[in-house]
Amino acid sequence: MKRPKLLETVLRNLVSKPATIQYPREKTTIEPDFRGIQYADLSKCTGCSLCSIECPADAIKMTPIPQEYAVPKINPRRLYPLINYGKCVYCYRCVKVCPVNAYIVTSKYDIAGPTRYTSEDLSLKTLKEVKSQ
Ligand code: SF4
Ligand code: SF4
């Protein structure tokens, strides 16, 4: 690069906006069809296991619903799909195959952290807790 060209580039960059953003202080723009984390609404889920069987990343483990939750009669086995977001590839196959449209999709993506992140809390929040007597 010739000197005058280099000087021109330096001066231009000094006054231009940065190409990067200060993530996570500054949030990134999310496209409307972005695939973020998804979880099953257990008021609709029948515990059929289809999403778990179809998952190409083996990220869904059918898991017993804890006793303190009231489970709808449509789910006699009291099982729910627990998603390990660390294994998920966000193909949304589970969302598409669910026969009762139980999946809730979100645009949340900032899930990195020191602990294993799963759909447990999100899914269990869709059920009512049974009051202890
Ligand atoms: S989005 Fe794809 S990889 Fe992730 S849990 Fe669903 S089926 Fe599995
Ligand atoms: S496919 Fe739907 S109904 Fe069946 S276990 Fe998965 S979320 Fe529940």
Is residue 93 exposed (0-12), middle (13-18) or buried (19+ Cβ within 10 Å)? middle
Q: For the chain, give every domain's residue range.
A: 28-124
* Identity of the amino acid at 115: T
Mean pLDDT of 92-105: 98
Mean pLDDT of 108-124: 91
Mutation test residue for ligand 2: of 38, 41, 43, 49, the one with most atoms within 8 Å of CB? 49
Residue 2's pLDDT is what? Answer: 62
Tell me the CA–centroid distance for residue 47 and ligand 2, in Å: 5
Contact 48, 19 (CB under 8 A): no
Mean pLDDT of 79-106: 98
| Residue found under tokens 């294993």 | 116
**Per-position b or e across 37-53, b if 16+ CB within 10 A of its CB:** bbbbbbebbbbbebbbe
Q: What does pLDDT average to over the chain?
A: 93
CA–CA dist 58, 51 (Å, integer) = 10
CATH 3.30.70.3270 for domain 28-124: yes
